[in-house]
Each structure stands twice: as C-alpha cells, then as structure tokens.
Chain A
Amino acid sequence: MKNKKQNKNALNPTDPFCGFASLRWWLLAVAVVWVLNSILPDLMGPYYFQILILAGINVILAVSLNLVNGFTGQFSMGHAGFMSVGGYISAYITTQLIVSHPEIMNDAILGSAVFVGSLLLGGLGATCTGYLVGLPSLRLRGDYLAIVTLGFGEIIRVVFLNMDAVGGARGLSGIMQFSSFGWVFTLAIFTVFTVWRVVHSAQGRVLLSIREDEIAATAMGVNTTQGKVRAFAMGAFFAGVAGGLFAHYLTIMSPGTFDFNRSFEIIIMVVLGGMGSISGSVVAAVLLTSLKEALRPLQQLTGVDLRMVIYSLVLITMMLARPSGIFGTREIGDIYRDWRAGKAPKDAKKLKASTPSKGGAA
C-alpha cells in the first residue's frame, strides 16, 4: 500500500493513462471544446450553459489552489484576493482599450487577442502579488500561514475598494462579455495540463517533499521557501486568469464579490475533491457549482430556503464519510488502473511486479 502511494504520480509506461502526459491529448480536448462551443448553447439551453461556464471558472480556481493547498501542503486562504487582482487588471485593460479604440470590437480576432492578452497580464499581475505576499508569509507554517494569507486577501480587497480608477466601492462596470464556453474551458484545460505536468516534474517532487515533511526536505537540500513561493505564485497566476474570465463573463467587478467567503468556497472545493488530487478538484468544482442550482427546485417546491442547509449537510456528511475527500490523493487514472487490475488479474500482477522496485528506489 505504501509503495503504491509513493508511486502514484510516477509516469509509468505501462500505464494506460500515461498518454495524458502528452500534449496531443490536451490539444485534442481543446479542439473538442471549440466544437462544443458552437453546438452546446442550443443543446443545453442558456440556463444550464451558464452554470457550466461558471463551473469551468471554478475548475480553474480549485485546481490552482490545489497546487498550493493540496500538493505543497500550504494552507492558503487568500485565493479570492489573487482572483480579484487578475480580474481587475484584465477588466481595466479591456475597458480602457475599448474606450480609446472602439474599432477593436468590430474585429473578432483582434478582440480575442486583446482579451487573451488582458487575461495574461491579469494573471501576471496576480503572480507578482502572489510572489510579494508569498515571500514573507510562506516562511510561516500551518495556522499562521492561513491567517496571514487571509489577511492579505482582505488587504487586496480593501485596496480595490479605495481605488477610484476601478470604480471604488461602486465597482467596475461596462466590461465587455468576452468569456465564452470555448475560452473558459480552453483555459481550464490549460490549467489542468500545466498543474499536471508541474506536479509530475522534478519541481513537483520538491512540492510533494515539502508537503510530506518539510524538515526532511530541507535536510535533503531542498530550498523549501523557494519551492513554496513558486507554487504560490503559480497558483496566483491561474487564479488571476480565472478572475479575468469571471470579470469578462459577469461584466461587473465589485470588491464585495471577493471577500473571504469566496476563498472559503474554493477551499471547500479542494478539500471535498481531495487535497492533492487534480481530478478531485475538477469533479468537486463542477459538483458544487451545480449542486446549488440543482437544489433550486426544492426551494420553489417547499417555499423555504433550505438550499444552504442541504448544501452544508452534504459537506458535513461527505467529510464524516470520507475525510480525505472524494478522491483523496488519487487521480482518475489511478482509479481506472485499479479497476482494470481488478478486472484483469494479469495486468495487476504486472503492475505489482513493477511497483516494488521503483518504490524501493524512492
């Protein structure tokens, strides 16, 4: 069991899901997303389609936070802050550009280029903030880190509240709606792909070693603070991109939207899906976003707003029944492999034969 756990993230050539690591599968997925982009709105109806898009944004947020909270084991509570930095920067760029050059809107390709550029700049702005916040605070551990990140998240919100350029308390409105299903899910796939590759790289091993035992990692010569700050900055980048998508989907940014409750919501997704499971974060993000809407008919039927009561009950039951989250630290590929192993004992033997030697080496 222990060997298996240590080995779970290794790229095993006999693993049928090894193909996930290669770029072409991801590119294929992006192509599928753009095909769906033209079919789905009519197929699903605008209501379900809208839930799907918000679920996609939540996937980016949850997966990026999982890199910090799950894989690096650093409990950050300021993700909403980075999201707002990215959102405000990209929304400010596009609104200013469109005011000065209205012709951008007439050209679909130019418009998309401006949008993606603004998302990138928003992400980079969030990265810089993440780096600055991470540098002092990631020297702390556990609860202290959680409180410091929570504080920084609030500071970011209050800074935007006092900035007249982005509308202050009134918020920034009149943002163009650039975020489509295609863009949201392309970037969601990009996020999952990048986090997946990072976690499976040497850098990812550094992060995992920090999570498992920081003292041992330091003893092995790992620069733990640097590793943590890198994970933090990267998580912040994707949060910023998600913030940009959020802003360009709702067309309004107000500081009140990014209070600590939003950070908690993302943390819930990560914990429910499993700290250290990318597939878990994806599943939990989609599940929790749809759950709130799925409970609406109940509210209409009973006339009492039990939505949040049931939502909380689901979370409590889940945490009592499976404290490690839906997936624990496993991925969907691991589960598929186990299922295959259970079905075809020959494969299982092969796997078992190859596991101990690798585990022993590690």
Chain B
Amino acid sequence: MNLGTSVLKVTRVGILKGRLLAAVSTLLIGSSVFAATIKIGEVGSMTGSEATFGISTHEGIELAIKEQNAKGGIKGQKIELISLDDQGKPEEAAIATTKLITQDKVVAILGEVASSRSLAMAPIAQKYKVPMISPSSTNPKVTAVGDHIFRVCFIDPFQGAVMAKFASENLKAKKVAIFRDVKSDYSVGLSDFFKEAFLKAGGEVVVDQSYSSGEVDFNSQLTSIRAKKPDVIFLPGYYTEVGLIAKQARKLGIKAAILGGDGWDSEKLYEIGGKSLNNSYFSNHYSQDDQTPAVQSFIATYKKAYNKIPDGLGALGYDAARVLFAAMETTKTGSTAEVQGALAKTKDFQGVTGKITMDEMRNATKSAVVLEVKDGKFLYKTTINP
C-alpha cells in the first residue's frame, strides 16, 4: 500500500509519464512475485557509527539467500529479504521490528549485531511470536527474553572456558596472569569465566590486574605481572589496547604467551602491536585457514560476490540465515510456530562457524577456533569443542 501512495505522490510532482508507467509495471510484476515468496526480515545498522558490523552481517545474509534461491528456494518458494536499517539506535530497531512483523508479515527476523539493539527487538518478536535469530549478540539476556529468540554465536562464558582449556591443555600452563579492561563488560565477563574454568582445571591465577580502555601506558601493571612470572597472560580486551600492551610487555622482557578473545579480531591489531604479538593466541568464531570444505567454499563465494575476505560477522550472518532455512525446510506449512519449533530442534548443523546445536536456552553450543598471531597473520591453531 505504501508503494501505491508513493506512486500517487510522484504523479502530483509531475515526473515523466513514461517513467511512471515503468514504475507501475515493475510494481505489478513485483507484487505478483511477492505473493509466491517467503518473506524474511533483517534489522541491522547499515548506517551510523557501527555500520561496518551491520554491512558485514547483511552481506553474509544476502549471500545465503542468493545461494538458497539458486537451489530453488524453500520447497519451490523463493526467499525475499526485507532489510531495514536502524542507524545503530535501539528505538529504530524496535520500530523496524514492528514494521517487519505487522506490515510486511515476515516469517522470521534476523538481527541484530549488538546486544542492546537485540534486547529492544526481542520483546516485540516474542510478543507477536515470530522467531528471531541474532547472529552475534553475546549478552546471555537476549535469548532469555523468550522462546522465540535464538542466537548462532557462542556466549562469553563459553569463550572464557575455551581459552582456559586451551591454556591448560595445549600450552600446558600452570600459572596465569589476568589483565582485564574494567571499562568493558565483555572483558570483565570473559576474565571471570576464564578464571573459573582455569581454577577448575587445576591451574593457578597468580595475579589479576586491570586497565581502562583508552589508556596508553601499562608499564606499572605489566611490571607487577612480570614479577609473578606467569606462563601465560590472559588479555581479553579490544585490539587497540591489546596491541599496545603486547608491545610494552615484550619491551619489559615478558616472554609468556598472551591469550585473548574475539575482540582481537581486526587487521588493526598487527598495525599497532607488530611483531610483539608473536606467541599470542585468541579465540574466534571462524578461521579463514580452516580447511573444512564448508569454510573454504563460503570464503570463495563471498570473495566472488563482494571482492573481499569475509570477517567473523559476515560468517555469522551467513550461518544465521542458513540455520533458519534448514529449519524452514523441515516444516510442513512454514508457519512461524513451526519454524520456531524446528529452530529449537537444530542439531549438529554444519555451519561456517562450526557445528551448531541449540541448547534449551536457545543459545548455540558450538566449537570455537583458536588462532595464532604470527607476523601479522592469524593462523589456524586448533578447534575446541564445548
């Protein structure tokens, strides 16, 4: 209906008749196609300060839909993606969700990247009983909103445990130092979960230091870490500080391995830290070097479509869409209730970011990869299963 009124407005303004006819005819063709499609909604930050996250995710989703439609869609019906921008604002995400559900009548919603926006969207999706899959919101509260909210990424408790396991089993570490960013909840959470799992594995936390993101001088904390002679340092921060800390640590003569989480995942990391980052490892959603066919074919098609290497968010967007399609294919009528039921039963789905199984809290239990930073490259080290 909105399309109809906008066309009317165009006539009033007085745009050429021929163009109008073309617009009307595309509309007619369009609407006849719409009738036979399955509508899926996406809410993302395509503009605004976090646009890069939204765009990466969108490209992954778009790619998955293109592939599915090339295979003939779902039971002969093509998939149509309605993607709305929220400018990185929770209120816009809420409005967009309402529009997708009540105006466009979508079967399911994919999004959002950030937990704060997902939390604004989730109550609405839950209220109208439309399944919503967040590709990368790690806050445990998101899926706790209700039984229609899912996610395909692992949550922070798991990531902390993964690195604890890696430190104790692969690196045979006994003494660790924790160096956390008190300003970021992500970092604090990850440190706590790491500590818990590492103590359980029989290790010892010799020193627990903290910094605030934005600082540039970490020498005093690092000196006290050096005094305790840890085997590894757990540093779950974002790449800017991580790069600086690694540099200053090596200058002080600390040779211990440095471990971190997916906040490290940026090309900027090496630009800042340089060679000091050798002998450090971090957990991530997927690795470009992972030789499994699912990963390699995804990278190849993504490169062909967008002419760049996909980042973690692109891979998660792709997986979120594909988990949804797999669930839809098992349903009889494709109604929202059936899709919800099928999504909850997702088991051992082979995605790019690992084998995805939904647990009873609708969080994905899946493997994480550990990457080694070596001369500016992120080398695939190992995969750790839950």
Q: Tell me the A residues contacting B by CB distance below 8 Å.
A: 45-47, 50-51, 54, 161-162, 167-171, 173-174, 177, 246, 250-252, 254, 256-257, 292-293, 296-301, 305, 307-308
From residue A290, how far is it (CB to closest CB) to chain B in Å?
A: 11
Interface size on B, residues (CB 8 A): 31
Measured between alpha carbons, how far is A146 from B332 in the docked complex, in Å? 61
From residue B230, how far is it (CB to closest CB) to chain A in Å?
A: 27
From residue A308, how far is it (CB to closest CB) to chain B in Å?
A: 6
From residue A215, how far is it (CB to closest CB) to chain B in Å?
A: 42
Measured between alpha carbons, how far is A256 from B139 in the docked complex, in Å? 15
For window 78-98 of chain B, which residues contact chain A by CB distance below 8 Å?
Answer: 82, 84-85, 87-92, 94-95, 98
User: B103's closest neighbor in chain A, by CB?
Assistant: A47
Measured between alpha carbons, how far is A47 from B103 in the docked complex, in Å? 7
Assess whether B120 is in contact with A46, with CB atoms less than 8 Å apart: no
Assess whether A162 is in contact with B6, with CB atoms less than 8 Å apart: no
Contact of B193 with A by CB under 8 A: no
From residue B336, how far is it (CB to closest CB) to chain A in Å?
A: 16
Task: List 15 additional A-B contacts (Cβ < 8 Å) besides A50-B94, A50-B98.
Answer: A46-B102, A47-B95, A47-B102, A54-B95, A169-B183, A170-B116, A170-B139, A173-B141, A250-B120, A252-B116, A252-B119, A252-B120, A292-B92, A293-B95, A299-B84
Most buried by B among A50, A51, A246: A50
From residue B134, how far is it (CB to closest CB) to chain A in Å?
A: 14
Q: Tell me the B residues contacting A by CB distance below 8 Å.
A: 2-3, 6, 46-47, 82, 84-85, 87-92, 94-95, 98-99, 102-103, 115-116, 119-120, 123, 139, 141, 183-186
Q: Cβ of B183: which chain A residues have Cβ within 8 Å of it?
A: 161-162, 169
CB pairs A–B below 8 angstroms (20 shown): A45-B103, A46-B98, A46-B102, A47-B95, A50-B94, A167-B185, A169-B183, A170-B115, A171-B115, A246-B91, A251-B120, A251-B123, A252-B90, A252-B116, A252-B120, A254-B90, A257-B89, A301-B3, A307-B47, A308-B47
Q: Cβ of B103: which chain A residues have Cβ within 8 Å of it?
A: 45, 47
Assess whether A298 is in contact with B6, with CB atoms less than 8 Å apart: yes
Assess whether A250 is in contact with B94, with CB atoms less than 8 Å apart: yes
A-B pairs, top 3 by smallest CB distance, nearest first, are: A254-B116, A297-B2, A252-B119
Most buried by B among A170, A300, A301: A170
Measured between alpha carbons, how far is A297 from B27 in the docked complex, in Å? 13
Measured between alpha carbons, how far is A225 from B255 in the docked complex, in Å? 60
Assess whether B119 is in contact with A251, with CB atoms less than 8 Å apart: yes
Most buried by B among A167, A246, A301: A301
User: A49's closest neighbor in chain B, by CB?
Assistant: B98
Q: Cβ of A47: which chain B residues have Cβ within 8 Å of it?
A: 95, 98-99, 102-103
Q: Cβ of A250: which chain B residues have Cβ within 8 Å of it?
A: 90-91, 94, 120
With A46-B98, A50-B98 as contacts: A305 and B85 at CB distance below 8 Å: yes
Q: Cβ of B6: which chain A residues have Cβ within 8 Å of it?
A: 297-298, 301
With A46-B98, A168-B185, A296-B84 as contacts: A54 and B119 at CB distance below 8 Å: no
From residue B55, how far is it (CB to closest CB) to chain A in Å?
A: 10
**B interface, over-half SS:** helix
User: A257's closest neighbor in chain B, by CB?
Assistant: B90
From residue A161, how far is it (CB to closest CB) to chain B in Å?
A: 7
Assess whether A169 is in contact with B185, with CB atoms less than 8 Å apart: yes
Assess whether A54 is in contact with B91, with CB atoms less than 8 Å apart: yes
Measured between alpha carbons, how far is A292 from B46 in the docked complex, in Å? 14
With A252-B116, A297-B2, A308-B47 as contacts: A170 and B185 at CB distance below 8 Å: yes
User: B84's closest neighbor in chain A, by CB?
Assistant: A296
Measured between alpha carbons, how far is A171 from B141 in the docked complex, in Å? 11
Measured between alpha carbons, how far is A299 from B2 in the docked complex, in Å? 12
Q: Cβ of A299: which chain B residues have Cβ within 8 Å of it?
A: 84-85
Q: Which of A167, A293, A300 contacts B82 (CB 8 A)?
A: A300
Measured between alpha carbons, how far is A169 from B139 in the docked complex, in Å? 11
Q: Cβ of A174: which chain B residues have Cβ within 8 Å of it?
A: 141
Measured between alpha carbons, how far is A171 from B84 in the docked complex, in Å? 24
From residue A289, how far is it (CB to closest CB) to chain B in Å?
A: 9
Measured between alpha carbons, how far is A250 from B98 in the docked complex, in Å? 12
User: B88's closest neighbor in chain A, by CB?
Assistant: A256
Q: Cβ of A301: which chain B residues have Cβ within 8 Å of it?
A: 3, 6
Assess whether A45 is in contact with B116, with CB atoms less than 8 Å apart: no
From residue A49, how far is it (CB to closest CB) to chain B in Å?
A: 9
Q: Cβ of A296: which chain B residues have Cβ within 8 Å of it?
A: 2, 84, 99
Q: Cβ of A292: which chain B residues have Cβ within 8 Å of it?
A: 92
User: A46's closest neighbor in chain B, by CB?
Assistant: B102
User: B118's closest neighbor in chain A, by CB?
Assistant: A252
User: A256's closest neighbor in chain B, by CB?
Assistant: B116
Measured between alpha carbons, how far is A51 from B102 in the docked complex, in Å? 13
From residue A178, how far is it (CB to closest CB) to chain B in Å?
A: 13
User: A295's closest neighbor in chain B, by CB?
Assistant: B6
User: A299's closest neighbor in chain B, by CB?
Assistant: B85
Measured between alpha carbons, how far is A173 from B122 in the docked complex, in Å? 11
From residue A287, how far is it (CB to closest CB) to chain B in Å?
A: 16
Measured between alpha carbons, how far is A21 from B323 in the docked complex, in Å? 60
Measured between alpha carbons, how far is A299 from B82 in the docked complex, in Å? 10
Q: Which of B85, B116, B184 contacts A171 (CB 8 A)?
A: B116
Q: Which of A161, A169, A246, A297 contacts B186 (CB 8 A)?
A: A169
Measured between alpha carbons, how far is A361 from B184 in the docked complex, in Å? 62
Assess whether A171 is in contact with B46, with CB atoms less than 8 Å apart: no
From residue B2, how far is it (CB to closest CB) to chain A in Å?
A: 4
Assess whether A171 is in contact with B119, with CB atoms less than 8 Å apart: yes
User: B87's closest neighbor in chain A, by CB?
Assistant: A308
Measured between alpha carbons, how far is A257 from B88 in the docked complex, in Å? 9
Q: Cβ of A307: which chain B residues have Cβ within 8 Å of it?
A: 47, 85
Measured between alpha carbons, how far is A268 from B99 in the docked complex, in Å? 25
Q: Cβ of B116: which chain A residues have Cβ within 8 Å of it?
A: 170-171, 252, 254, 256-257
